[in-house]
């Protein structure tokens, strides 16, 4: 094994600090994917130590290797089939007895193992003194103390891994299961040796056959002579069950727990004397029977206010940068379809989604913080009473919480649920949780139609409605689709600990990269498609001669200027009098400032005076300094401003009509009758249909549509364009957010539902029921809002 490269697998219980140590070792040199053939997330990272290239594989967190769940099966298969050179078993020192059960199973696989005694500082604070030498003596493997959240012991761990690799010695481990079971194990081993090809450790294989492990049974059945071995194992199980009067798998598990108990008696000296730990004291408050639920919702409310309040500043910087890029590209390209595609389709569509990256990062920062501190497990415990009322238990709430980040891992997370009814119900209600892809939609609509002081509360209300709907739909599904008894809630509560900044930043980095990849692939394709739909057909039959009308406006302006300004001053054109031209420019500059001030006055409920000169000292000063030319300059500015407004109105009307006659407009008008009762127009319909691919596409679609309709050079952005659209209002915006929250999951989520359920029936059902539910609730919100006068 003394090579320049080797593979190291990290195994451990959930909440043991495994991922923190993985991040400490690999840093940013890691990537995330899926294990071949399954939807379990696969994390790999690289590290170079003492001249060796180390590939670290972060196995799924699991409590055992009995392969009852997909996580356990994947972890076991990686160890057996991929045969990593070293296994690092991360143990939570503060809960050593529970963690050692997995360690025993790993050792039975006969692979080199190093035990990392993590959170050793927490164990000491709890009054537990662990004897490392006793652990090494009983298990026959080296033990290294680590404190993951402080990055302590990492070098020692890498050094020990390197030493174990250099010894190049097998690492046998044999736990005594008692005379009767050991006799049967030896009989099966003797039978297995007659087989030609066996890739599993013989003793481990014999134990698994006694436990009737179906994955191992299926593997043996495919080998020549395997049926004979299965018959031998079946007879051995029958003989043993006659002796123990119980399922032999339970008897074997009992022996393992007894062995672990003996190790703990020898290796752990406890001095707690019944005193409460810091975690216990915190739990007295956060998991309080009455206050626990309000505290949880309060924490979530703070999180969403934090995301909105802090995220708006970097979002503004990103928007400015995207606008600059669009302007820069526009300066150096000739007019045409390619320029429109790049500016309106790619930069306008994809850029509008990328600008929400700060909010996405902050949301994942909050979720990672809650997960790494250990609060997420408490949230599941607190929600257990609510979940039990709808036929589920608190453990189902963990996948739902993951849905705040993305519905895809939320649906994948249901594989940890043992009860198939609980799993199916959780899969169907997980898409009702507001994923980060919906956040850009909420943010743009809230910023456009709600005051800043209400923004966080409005955002929280959408997330809360999603949770409430998930609970209600779970109740209905559990009662009518998947009836059955409710299982008891059993879940380990990890000790509270301070998360590492590296772990949180790594989590944020991974998710942001996935988000940007999505923006660069699926959303880019959708933006280009939408651009094509809103720009073609390029030749349309307008209801008016817009070019002729604009020519009439220009001609009328020229005649008025000649009559009221040029002839009285005996000029052929404005440029003939430099003083007059400069005065018009000064009036224009003052008027622009005055317009900004008028907007501020209107926002404060003030009105403008009719005598504009008297109210503006700058204009009064110009009038007094130029008593002869000022009236002509002001008259010219008023006529020119009227010309610009008339031309702009015709341009907007022309662009609106062209958009209405485009392929997107035709499709939007087709679906408009269905969504009109919800307060939506055809443009929103186009956005909602395109967003079935990915919910962020709704923003990019609207960005593309409104950039086509905006003919001003100084575009005010999508937020302002929505606010200026008469079809929108705060009520319509809220109704649209409700619909976006509920209706059909994105294509990626539907694909995962298909893989997890192995059926097309359930993704189809999920899409249909959620869309119907979205229509009904959005209709109720809009119509009730109208009735109340909003």
The conformation of residue 336, written as its DSSP 8-state character, comes to S
**240 close to 180: Cβ distance less than 8 angstroms:** yes
- Name the nearest CA neighbour of 372 among 498, 251, 459: 498
Q: List all residues 6 or more positions away from 67 whose beta carbon is below 8 Å from its beta carbon.
A: 73, 76, 213, 214, 215
Distance of CA 538 to the CA centre of its chain: 38
Convert the pLDDT of each residue in 90-135 to its tens digit.
Answer: 998 888 888 898 999 899 888 889 999 998 777 777 778 888 888 8
Q: What percent of the chain has pLDDT over 70?
A: 84
Long-range contacts of 616-621 (CB under 8 A, 24+ apart): 616/590, 618/590, 619/587, 619/590
Give the model's pLDDT for residue 742.
95
Report, as an integer, the average pLDDT of 742-767.
85
Select the highest-mean-pLDDT range: 17-26, 318-327, 362-371. 17-26
Half-sphere exposure of 502 (CA within 13 A, CB side): 16
CA distance 715 to 713: 6
**510 close to 361: Cβ distance less than 8 angstroms:** no
Q: What is the sign of the dihedral through the CA atoms of 687, 688, 694 and 698?
A: positive
Give, for 701, the enclosing helix (H) or strand (E): helix 697-709
CA distance 366 to 298: 14
* Residue 608 confidence class, pLDDT cut points 50, 70, 90: very low
Give the model's pLDDT for residue 733.
94
Q: Where are the chain's structural domains?
A: 5-167, 178-243, 293-515, 546-597+613-653, 657-787
- Name the nearest CA neighbour of 191 among 228, 138, 216, 245: 228
Convert the pLDDT of each residue in 641-660 to its tens digit.
Answer: 899 889 888 887 887 777 77
Convert the pLDDT of each residue in 426-468 to its tens digit.
Answer: 899 999 988 877 888 898 899 889 998 888 889 989 989 998 8
- Name the nearest CA neighbour of 263 among 123, 101, 135, 114: 135
pLDDT over 60 at 296, yes or no? yes
Q: How many CB atoms lie within 10 A of CB 453?
A: 7
- Indicate the CATH number of 178-243 among 3.40.50.620, 1.10.287.1770, 3.40.50.800, 3.30.9.10: 1.10.287.1770
Give the model's pLDDT for residue 609.
41
CA distance 199 to 220: 10
Q: How many residues does the chain have?
A: 790
- Any idea which of 2-16, 543-557, 610-624, 675-689 has the lowest mean pLDDT? 610-624
Give the model's pLDDT for residue 123.
77
Give the model's pLDDT for residue 346.
74
Give the model's pLDDT for residue 600.
44
**751 close to 449: Cβ distance less than 8 angstroms:** no
Angle at Cα 691 formed by Cα 722 and Cα 542, nearest 5°? 55
Percent helix, strand, coil in the chain (nearest 5)?
Answer: 70, 5, 25
Give the model's pLDDT for residue 601.
45
Give the model's pLDDT for residue 469.
92
pLDDT over 50 at 713, yes or no? no
Q: How many CB atoms lie within 10 A of CB 9?
A: 23
Residue 8 pairs with which residues in a beta bridge? 56, 86
What's the whole-number average pLDDT of the chain? 80
3-class state of residue 533 by DSSP: helix
Torsion-angle region of residue 419: left (phi > 0), alpha (psi -120 to 50) or beta?
A: beta
Give the model's pLDDT for residue 721.
81
CA distance 462 to 439: 10
Query: In terms of C-beta density within 10 A (0-12 exposed, 13-18 middle, 19 or more buried), how is residue 313 classed?
Result: exposed
- Name the nearest CA neighbour of 704 among 363, 383, 443, 347: 347
Q: Identify the residue with better confidence: 709 or 262.
A: 262
Give the model's pLDDT for residue 734.
96
CA distance 150 to 21: 10
Give, for 666, the enclosing helix (H) or strand (E): helix 663-675
Select the highest-mean-pLDDT range: 303-312, 503-512, 629-638. 629-638
Give the model's pLDDT for residue 735.
95
CA distance 695 to 466: 15
Give the model's pLDDT for residue 767.
93
**153 close to 147: Cβ distance less than 8 angstroms:** yes
Convert the pLDDT of each residue in 216-275 to its tens digit.
Answer: 888 888 888 888 889 999 999 999 989 988 888 889 989 998 999 898 888 888 655 555
The conformation of residue 147, written as its DSSP 8-state character, comes to B
**636 close to 561: Cβ distance less than 8 angstroms:** yes
Give the model's pLDDT for residue 716.
42
Half-sphere exposure of 235 (CA within 13 A, CB side): 11
The conformation of residue 17, written as its DSSP 8-state character, comes to S
pLDDT over 80 at 191, yes or no? yes
pLDDT over 70 at 38, yes or no? no
Homologous superfamily (CATH) for 5-167: P-loop containing nucleotide triphosphate hydrolases (3.40.50.300)
pLDDT over 70 at 315, yes or no? yes
3-class state of residue 53 by DSSP: strand
Angle at Cα 587 formed by Cα 581 and Cα 591, nearest 5°? 145
Report, as an integer, the average pLDDT of 375-379.
77
CA distance 431 to 427: 8
Report, as an integer, the average pLDDT of 569-595.
84
**56 close to 128: Cβ distance less than 8 angstroms:** no
CA distance 475 to 235: 45
Convert the pLDDT of each residue in 40-84 to its tens digit.
Answer: 566 888 888 888 888 999 888 888 887 666 667 778 788 878 888
* Residue 168 confidence class, pLDDT cut points 50, 70, 90: low
Report, as an integer, the average pLDDT of 533-541.
79
pLDDT over 90 at 677, yes or no? yes
pLDDT over 70 at 538, yes or no? yes
CA distance 162 to 2: 9
Q: How many CB atoms lie within 10 A of CB 711?
A: 14
Q: What percent of the chain has pLDDT over 90?
A: 17
Angle at Cα 783 formed by Cα 777 and Cα 788, nearest 5°? 120
* Residue 613 confidence class, pLDDT cut points 50, 70, 90: low
Residue 631: phi and psi, rounded to 5, are -60, -40
**283 close to 418: Cβ distance less than 8 angstroms:** no
Give the model's pLDDT for residue 514.
67
**124 close to 271: Cβ distance less than 8 angstroms:** no
pLDDT over 70 at 187, yes or no? yes
Give the model's pLDDT for residue 394.
66
CA distance 29 to 383: 37
Q: What is the sign of the dihedral through the CA atoms of 771, 777, 778 and 780?
A: positive
Q: What CA–CA distances, in Å, run from 123 to 92, 94, 129, 270?
A: 9, 4, 7, 9
């Amino acid at each position: 094994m003394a090579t320049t490269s080797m593979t190291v697998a990290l195994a451990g219980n959930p909440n043991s600090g495994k991922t923190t140590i993985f991040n400490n070792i690999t840093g940013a040199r890691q990537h995330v994917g899926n294990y071949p053939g399954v939807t379990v997330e696969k994390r790999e990272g690289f590290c170079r130590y003492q001249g060796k290239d180390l590939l670290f594989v972060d196995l799924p967190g699991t409590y055992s290797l009995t392969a009852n769940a997909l996580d356990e099966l994947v972890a076991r298969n990686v160890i057996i089939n991929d045969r990593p050179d070293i296994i690092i078993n991360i143990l939570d020192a503060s809960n050593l007895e529970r963690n050692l059960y997995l360690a025993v199973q790993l050792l039975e696989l006969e692979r080199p193992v190093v035990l990392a005694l993590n959170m050793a500082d927490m164990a000491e604070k709890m009054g537990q003194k662990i004897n490392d030498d006793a652990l090494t003596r009983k298990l026959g493997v080296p033990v290294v103390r680590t404190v993951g959240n402080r990055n302590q012991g990492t070098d020692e761990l890498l050094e020990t891994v390197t030493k174990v690799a250099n010894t190049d010695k097998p690492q046998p481990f044999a736990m005594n299961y008692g005379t009767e079971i050991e006799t049967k194990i030896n009989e099966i081993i003797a039978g297995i040796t007659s087989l030609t090809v066996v890739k599993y450790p013989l003793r481990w294989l014999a134990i698994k056959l006694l436990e009737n492990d179906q994955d191992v049974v299926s593997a043996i059945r495919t080998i020549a002579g395997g049926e004979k071995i299965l018959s031998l194992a079946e007879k051995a199980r029958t003989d043993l069950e006659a002796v123990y009067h119980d399922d032999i798998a339970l008897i074997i598990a009992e022996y393992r727990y007894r062995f672990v108990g003996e190790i703990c008696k020898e290796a752990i000296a406890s001095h707690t004397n019944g005193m409460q730990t810091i975690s216990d004291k915190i739990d007295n408050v956060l998991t309080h029977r009455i206050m626990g639920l309000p505290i949880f919702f309060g924490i979530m409310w703070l999180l969403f206010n934090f995301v909105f309040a802090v995220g708006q500043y970097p979002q503004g910087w990103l928007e400015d940068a995207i606008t600059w890029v669009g302007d820069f590209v526009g300066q150096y390209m000739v007019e045409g379809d390619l320029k429109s595609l790049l500016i309106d389709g790619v930069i306008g569509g994809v850029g509008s989604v990328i600008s929400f990256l700060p909010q996405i990062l902050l949301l994942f920062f909050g979720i990672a913080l809650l997960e790494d501190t250990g609060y997420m497990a408490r949230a599941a415990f607190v929600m257990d009473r609510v979940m039990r009322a709808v036929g589920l238990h608190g453990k189902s709430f963990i996948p739902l919480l993951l849905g705040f980040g993305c519905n895809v891992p939320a649906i994948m997370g249901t594989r940890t649920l043992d009860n198939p009814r609980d799993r199916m119900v959780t899969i169907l209600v997980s898409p009702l949780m507001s994923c980060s892809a919906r956040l850009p939609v909420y943010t743009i609509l809230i910023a456009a139609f709600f005051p800043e002081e209400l923004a966080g509360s409005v955002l929280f209300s959408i997330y809360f409605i999603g949770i409430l709907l998930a609970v209600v739909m779970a109740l209905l599904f559990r009662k009518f689709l998947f009836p059955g008894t409710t299982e008891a809630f059993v879940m380990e509560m990890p000790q509270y600990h301070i998360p590492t900044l590296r772990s949180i930043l790594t989590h944020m980095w991974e998710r942001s990269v996935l988000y940007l990849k999505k923006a660069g692939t699926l959303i880019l394709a959708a933006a280009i498609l939408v651009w094509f739909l809103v720009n073609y057909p390029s030749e349309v039959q307008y209801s008016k001669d817009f070019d002729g009308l604009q020519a009439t406006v220009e001609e009328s302006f020229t005649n008025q200027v000649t009559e009221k300004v040029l002839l009285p001053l005996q000029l052929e054109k404005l440029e003939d009098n430099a003083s007059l031209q400069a005065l018009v420019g000064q009036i224009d500059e003052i008027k622009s400032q005055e317009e900004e001030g008028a907007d501020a006055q209107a926002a404060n409920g003030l009105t403008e005076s009719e005598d504009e000169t008297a109210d503006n000292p700058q204009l009064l000063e110009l009038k007094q300094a130029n008593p002869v030319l000022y009236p002509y300059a002001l008259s010219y500015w008023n006529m020119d401003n009227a010309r610009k407004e008339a031309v702009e109105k015709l341009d907007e009307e022309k662009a609106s009509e062209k958009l209405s006659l485009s392929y997107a407009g035709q499709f939007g008008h087709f679906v408009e009758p269905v969504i009109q009762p919800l307060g939506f127009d055809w443009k929103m319909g186009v956005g909602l249909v395109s967003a079935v691919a990915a919910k962020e596409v709704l923003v990019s679609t609207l960005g593309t549509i409104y950039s086509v309709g905006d003919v001003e050079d100084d575009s005010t952005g999508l937020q302002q364009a929505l606010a200026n659209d008469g079809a929108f209002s705060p009520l319509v915006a809220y109704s649209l957010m409700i619909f976006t929250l509920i209706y059909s999951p994105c294509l990626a989520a539907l694909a995962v539902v298909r893989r997890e359920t192995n059926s097309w029936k359930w993704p189809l059902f999920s899409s249909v029921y959620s869309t119907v539910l979205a229509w009904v609730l959005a209709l109720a919100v809009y119509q009730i809002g109208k009735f109340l006068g909003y």
